[in-house]
Amino acid sequence: MKSMPDLLCEVDLIAVLVTLGSDGPFVLTKDRVTLPNQALDAKRRSLQRGFRQWANTLTHNSLRSVEQLYTFADQSDAGTVRRLISISYLAISQSLPQDHYDVCSFYDYFPWEDRRQENKSLQYLQKELMIWAKNDPEKQARITHYFGLNNAQWNDEFVLSRYEILWEAGLVAESSKERTVPYSGLEMHHDYRRILATAFSRLRAKIRYSPIIFDFLPEVFTLNQLQHAQECITGRLIHKSNFRRLVLHQNLVENTGKRDHSAPGRPASLYRFCQKNDAACYLSGAVLPLSEETLKI
């Protein structure tokens, strides 16, 4: 009986390292087209600990939070049983280096996801999608659902689903080599933009059921800074008064008694995250944007 060859695996770690920039979440990239990656050190007993140690050397500081994001396996070479297993991690850092890497905004890759002002990318791609789906009711229904058409609600967590529809329609460079599509964001090699979309979806989801938003902020912060961080990540504007009432009502922040004198005008109060109340996420069940009708506390 012929014996089966041993299955050989290579494990590759991919890092989605995120920080908060002045106008959105930023990610560490290699030449803007790939994410940092390296082969797993087989000597490491813990996969996550090995990732943390490697990622710390990339950011030059300790990470705020780390979670495994996405795992996939491909056959490395035709006619072989060697498999490449890629494991991606999402990690938050207070800052990202710009010496040997490029730091890019998520919205450079997904410009249609920023709805804080008029978005030409979204408008153009919505029209192109409906042309693509002209005689297909199923495609039209998917586009309407994920892109918020015909008064359907826009869900900011559907980043990956929207990217996959655009890929299917040939409206991103990774799936369309025959033409250049305007307003479709920066291209990435292989599956890297799909991994980035997965990370963006996860991040937007987690700020609703966990206090992960505070990992992007300094130890003390103003409520304006907290709201700005929330708006940057969701790509949505939030009603100021309702947001503040919601945050203070759930006791996730506590006043330090100090004020921020760095900006002109009346100094703003400084707050810190109250970790003992982190089980009661302040956006649990809330709908963005927080309008005047939302969450009357």
- Between the alpha carbon of residue 241 and those of residues 232, 238, 291, 297, the distances in Å are 18, 9, 9, 11
Of 55, 88, 106, the domain-final residue = 106
Question: What is the DSSP code (8-state) at residue 283?
Answer: T
CA dihedral 44, 45, 48, 50 (to 10 degrees): -20
Q: In this predicted model, which residue has the larger pLDDT, 79 or 270?
A: 270
The pLDDT value recorded for residue 273 is 92
Structural domain total, the chain = 3
Asked if residue 119 and residue 80 are part of one domain, the reply reads no
225 found inside a domain: yes
Which structural domain, as residue segments, surrounds residue 98? 9-106
293 found inside a domain: no
pLDDT digits (tens, 9 = 90+) for 75-104: 555 555 566 788 999 999 988 887 778 999
Asked if residue 101 and residue 16 are part of one domain, the reply reads yes
194 found inside a domain: no
Asked if residue 128 and residue 64 are part of one domain, the reply reads no
Of 52, 82, 106, the domain-final residue = 106
Q: What is the pTM of this model?
A: 0.87
Mean pLDDT of 177-188: 89
Decide if pLDDT at 4 tops 70.
no
The pLDDT value recorded for residue 284 is 42
229 found inside a domain: yes
25 found inside a domain: yes
Asked if residue 150 and residue 98 are part of one domain, the reply reads no
Query: What CATH number does the domain containing 59 carry?
Result: 3.90.79.10
pLDDT digits (tens, 9 = 90+) for 13-39: 899 999 999 899 999 999 999 999 988
CA separation for the pair 151, 166 (Å, rounded): 20
146 found inside a domain: yes
134 found inside a domain: yes
**Amino acid type, 137:** P
Asked if residue 118 and residue 75 are part of one domain, the reply reads no
The pLDDT value recorded for residue 180 is 84
88 found inside a domain: yes
